[in-house]
Amino acid sequence: MALVLILWAAGLGAAAQFGKISVLYDDLRALYGGQGEAALGLVVSVVGMVGLIFGTTAGLLVARIGPKRAIVGAMALGTAVSVVQATLPAYPVMIAARVLEGASHLAIVVVGPVLIAQLASEDRRPLAMTLWSSFFGVTYAALALVAPGIIGWGGAPALFLAHAGWMAGIGGVLWAALPRDPPQGRGRLGNLLRQHVEIYASPWLAAPAMGFCFYTFLYVACLTLLPPQSPLASRAWMATGMPLVSIAVSLTLGVWLLRRMSAVRLVRWGYVWALPGFVALWAFWGQGAGMVAAGLWLSAALGIVQGASFASIPELNTRPEDRARAAGAIAQLGNLGTTTGTPLLAAILASGGPMALASVAVLASLAGVAVVGWQAGRRQTRST
């Protein structure tokens, strides 16, 4: 279990590749604001764009070169680009560094669940996969606590260098502790387009990603849009409570449920449980306690989806190379949901109000139920 925790720590470093820029956004505006708001926003979003474009390709590459080589190389690359960023370089250099950081991030989030599923014993695998799924929320909560002190001491360069130190330290431990990649793990890459088609045509490889996409579409948008829409006295409760409740429920109730039902089934139930939360959100819109309760409910339900989606990777795929391909698809479709959810739901809220937002969220949840069920039916048909 110690190696699982070290891999999770690598995931924290990967999440901080997003989080450190969010924390430093105002500082970076002073440096790069002259480029325009869209260009400034690209400093944040370009890391996710790399995953959106190359997510499945990364899964194929990991299956070819081996997970240890991939994650140790990614940690080294992450260290290097953070050191470059600490110099606060010119805008084109910063963007180039962020593109390389996107490659580092992508490799870590593809390899992490593959190795954790491989290393964890069968009885602890649900807990291990759910723990992995929490790395983004935990990182953002940790940065909210420690980043202000680091920035106050040494400014933006200190935070970049602290991140570089974390990546270097964890990468070194992984290099020493992880078992050597087996020779058979390095297959031929082959035709990329054909292999992409094979992944998304497979109800085993594509199912975790297709269910996860609706989670990222909804969850990130809710974390972004709901706190500012709540009464002033309730905003802090929503902003801090929603991610913490999501993590806590996934690691407790979610793990308990994974021992009693399949991960695929639990993904569907998570979306079903989110439905009353979105209805209550509309009913109590603008009302402090009611809106907070609705936000916490839907965060808990979507936290169940989060953990079960990652747990479904090893449940549906037994070979490490298949798990790598499924994790690559999760990275790709997860970034698709993250990239599209917030701007689309923000536009719907602005044009149609709370009822329109809740209606689209309900439809997205039902779509998640339907897609996961459809893939389960395809697996049953192929198995008979």
Question: In the prediction, which pLDDT does 186 show?
Answer: 47
Buried b (16+ CB within 10 A) or exposed e, 288-319: bebbbbbbbbbbbbbbbbbbbbbbbbbbbbee
Hey, where are the domains in the chain? 1-187, 190-384
The three-state DSSP-derived secondary structure of 188-242 is CCCCHHHHHHHHHHCCCCCHHHHHHHHHHHHHHHHHHHHHHHCCHHHHHHHHHHH
Q: Which CATH architecture has domain 1-187?
A: Up-down Bundle (1.20)
Q: What do you get for the CA distance between the two ends of the chain, in Å? A: 37
Phi-psi group of 370: left, alpha or beta (phi > 0 → left; psi -120 to 50 → alpha; rest → beta): alpha
As given in the structure block, the two tokens for residue 334 are 């997860």
Question: In the prediction, which pLDDT does 185 show?
Answer: 47
Question: In the prediction, which pLDDT does 225 show?
Answer: 79
The pTM assigned to this predicted structure is 0.81
As given in the structure block, the two tokens for residue 113 are 């669940």
The string of DSSP codes covering 25-56 is HHHHHHHHGGG-HHHHHHHHHHHHHHHHHHHH
pLDDT per residue of the chain (384 residues) written in tens, 0 to 9:
688 899 999 999 998 888 888 788 778 878 876 666 667 667 767 777 777 766 777 677 776 788 888 899 999 999 999 999 999 999 899 899 999 998 898 889 888 888 888 887 777 888 888 888 888 778 877 887 888 899 999 999 999 999 999 999 999 999 999 888 776 544 455 566 777 788 888 899 999 999 999 998 898 788 777 887 778 777 777 777 888 888 899 989 999 999 899 999 999 999 999 999 999 999 989 887 888 899 999 999 999 998 899 889 889 998 878 888 888 888 888 878 877 887 788 888 888 988 999 999 999 999 999 999 999 888 888 766
Domains 1-187 and 190-384 share a fold: yes
Q: Cα separation of 273 and 276, whole Å?
A: 7
Q: What superfamily would CATH give domain 190-384?
A: MFS general substrate transporter like domains (1.20.1250.20)
Torsion 206-243-133-161 (CA) sign: positive
Cβ neighbours, 10 Å, residue 344: 14
The string of DSSP codes covering 119-155 is HS-TTTHHHHHHHHHTHHHHHHHHHHHHHHHHHHHHH
- The residue with tokens 């929503």 is 238
Q: Cα separation of 73 and 145, whole Å?
A: 29
Question: In the prediction, which pLDDT does 193 show?
Answer: 72
Question: In the prediction, which pLDDT does 189 show?
Answer: 53
The string of DSSP codes covering 264-326 is HHHHHHHHHHHHHHHHHHHHTTT-HHHHHHHHHHHHHHHHHHHHHHHHHHHHH--SHHHHHHH
Question: In the prediction, which pLDDT does 153 show?
Answer: 92
Q: Is 184 exposed, middle or buried (0-12, 13-18, 19+ CB in 10 A)?
A: exposed
Hey, is 259 helix, strand or coil? coil
Please say whether the beta carbons of 44 and 141 come within 8 A: no
Question: In the prediction, which pLDDT does 8 show?
Answer: 92
